[in-house]
Amino acid sequence: MIANLTVGERQAALILLGIGGLVGLLMAATGADEAFASHGVIVLLFCAALFVLVLQHLDDPQPSPDAHRSYYDDPIKVGIILAMVWAIIGMFFGLWVAYLLAWPDLTFDAPWASFGRLRPAHTTGVIFGFGGTALIATSFHVMQRTSRARLAGQFSPWFVLFGYQLFVILAVSGYLMGINQSKEYAEAEWYADLWLVVVWITYFVLYMRTLARRNEPHIYVANWYYMAFILIVAILHIFNNVALPVSWTGSRSYIVWSGVQDAMMQWWYGHNAVAFFLTAGFLGMLYYYLPKRAERPIYSYRLSILSFWGIVFFYVWAGSHHLHYTALPHWVQTLGMTFSVMLLVPSWATAANALLTLNGAWHKVRDDATLRFMMVAAIFYGLTTFEGSFLAIRGVNALSHYTDWTVAHVHAGALGWNAILIFGVVYAAVPVIWRVERMWSNRLIEWHFWLAVLGTVVYVLAMWNSGILQGLMWRTYTDAGTLQYPFITTVLAMNPYYVARAVGGTMFFVGTALGCYNLWMTIRQAPGTTMVQDHPVSADGAAGDAAVPGE
């Protein structure tokens, strides 16, 4: 890893890590509250660990000049490993929360183990830790192969990857300590948010510099989606998290938006975080790895571009459907509902494009669990986008909102679309990146596939039934015009479904653990010198010839 950095790059890393360590020390020494000081200690330890690692290899020989004529895969390798580590951490918190809702005593009377702290730790660990790290790693991989160009720099990819890990660590640890902005998918406090802006701008500049030096004249569609993901997430994050800290040495802040403006800004961010973090970026994965694994060209490259512009344009207007029956102006609610329904067209066109790509390769789907992961992910993408448009309709929303139906919808996407796609991508990319013939155990991939699919189905079916029952019980009135069911009665009625959800979550978690074990054993058996040609996808969507990028 460090051996491929030049001496100058290692020295620059030491300087930056030294500055980061001093900032952490200053935070720890001057913190106005315990949480801020604790985060200072975390920053200090994080930078010190990396400083020692780089220092140990400072005098290692410089990389060969020929190294710059090949793809730079070291950050991708580390990113894949870190993504799977976050999968275990984030899903463990989610599993704990699922069991906690069925058996409330599982907090063990510890404040940090309450639902209000574990739940954001789960969502951030899974969405940003697992999903975000996978997006960064795969974007580095796809960008190089489709552009036939090496990453534009060796130091900046590591800054992006490890800088992003520091943000997620600060966010998750902060939630367990009670630091929370109470903004869905944006709970991290002001100093973590500012750090993420620095990392994300570096990421965008790195991505654009690499595309600018490409040796392939066309920009393959996967890169369009990755670019939209990086750019729009930056805009969303900045505007939604504009806050004034109570103290420059404290962990508390106040968002500058207030009232209904804050709600609108939050759900403009919240829905578009789903749109561009959990959809656009993952479509970038799908458009590269699915045809690559199937060894088939994209069914319609033109349709993929038209779908891209439809998704990008329609999604940014859809967030207000989360605020039906609120103080938000009625016309804004209707606007969000309308664009949400219109989203069904480019979304289903994308899902159909992916599935039609498999024409002529269905025998591979039958025999190859890795390709089956991607196929199932595309199906769940089509199902969840239909459901999302359906739930945005005001009349349906009156029944579904604030119930477990929304939980079912979110997890049909997060598990069935995002997580299952990542698993397929990892199984497809790891043999290429580590230069091995295949994963260590195909049987474990099969087991992982069925545990993931069955776990998702059990989870979603349980929450669908729970949510619809909740909504119906909440709106049932007696002849006298009073509510028929006390709220506690509706809570008790949910218990069997919560137990079923915990069972489904356990199945999914066990499958993830098997995947991590398979990954670890594959890495252990990877030879250090075996070279395998990597055949990138060309701009027209077909599998292209092997190419070694130039400078």
485, 370: one domain = yes
Residues 48 and 93 grouped into a single domain:
no
Residue 145 domain flag: yes
Q: Which two tokens stand for residue 329?
A: 């102006």
How many secondary structure helices (H) and strands (E) does the chain include?
A: 20, 2
- Domain contains 361: yes
Q: Are residues 78 and 53 in the same domain?
A: no
For residue 324, say whether it is annotated as part of any ligand binding site.
Answer: no
pLDDT in tens, the chain (551 residues): 787 888 888 999 999 999 999 999 999 999 999 999 999 999 999 999 999 999 998 888 887 777 777 899 999 999 999 999 999 999 999 999 999 999 999 998 899 999 999 999 999 999 999 999 999 999 999 999 999 999 998 999 999 999 999 999 999 999 999 999 989 999 999 999 999 999 999 999 999 999 999 999 999 999 999 999 999 999 999 999 999 999 999 999 999 999 999 999 999 999 998 899 999 999 999 999 999 999 999 999 999 999 999 999 999 999 999 999 999 999 999 999 999 999 999 999 999 999 999 998 999 999 999 999 999 999 999 999 999 999 999 999 999 999 999 999 999 999 999 999 999 999 999 999 999 999 999 999 999 999 999 999 999 999 999 999 999 999 999 999 899 999 999 999 999 999 999 999 999 999 999 999 999 999 998 876 333 344 443 434 433 333 333 32
Residues 177 and 30 in one domain: no
The DSSP result for 71-112, as a single string, is ---HHHHHHHHHHHHHHHHHHHHHHHHHHHHHSGGGGTT-GG
Residues 265 and 397 grouped into a single domain: yes
Query: Tokens for 313?
Result: 């344009």
Structural domain range at position 35: 1-58
Q: What is the Cα–Cα distance from 282 to 111, expressed in whole angstroms?
A: 35
Q: What is the pLDDT of residue 536?
A: 42
Query: b/e for 316-331, b at 16 or more Cβ within 10 A?
Result: bbbbbbbbbeeebeee
Q: Do 441 and 518 form a contact (C-beta atoms < 8 A)?
A: yes
CA distance 216 to 224: 14
Give 260's contacts (C-beta < 8 A, 6+ positions apart). Answer: 326, 327, 328
Residues 51 and 85 in one domain: no
Q: Same domain, yes or no, for 36 and 108?
A: no
How confident is the model at residue 6, as a pLDDT? 85
Angle between helices 301-315 and 221-240 (to 10 degrees): 10
Cα 404 to Cα 474: distance, rounded to the nearest angstrom: 12
In a domain, 534, yes or no: no
The pLDDT of residue 2 is 80
User: Amino acid letter at 302?
Assistant: R
Same domain, 87 and 10: no
In-domain check, residue 68 = no
> Which residue, 92, 211, 227, 209, is CA-closest to 156?
209
Q: Does residue 63 belong to any structural domain of this protein?
A: no
What is the reported pLDDT for 15?
A: 96
Q: Is 363 annotated as a binding residue?
A: no
411 is in an annotated binding site: yes
Q: HSE on the CB side for 186, CA within 13 Å?
A: 28
- Is 477 in a helix, a strand, or coil? strand
- Is 322 marked as binding a ligand? yes
| In a shared domain, residues 38 and 144 | no
Residues 6+ apart with CB under 8 A from 19: none
Residue 216 in domain: yes
Taking the alpha carbons at both ends of the chain, their separation in whole angstroms is 21
Q: Is 330 annotated as a binding residue?
A: no
- Decide: helix, strand or coil at residue 255: strand
Domain total of the chain: 2
Q: Does the residue 550 lie in any domain?
A: no
pTM of the model: 0.93
Same domain assignment for residues 84 and 225:
yes
Q: Say yes or no: 52 and 131 in one domain.
A: no
Residue type, 415: L
531 belongs to a structural domain: no
pLDDT on residue 140: 97
The count of other CB atoms within 10 Å of the CB of residue 489 is 11
Q: Is residue 346 domain-shared with residue 487, that is, in the same domain?
A: yes
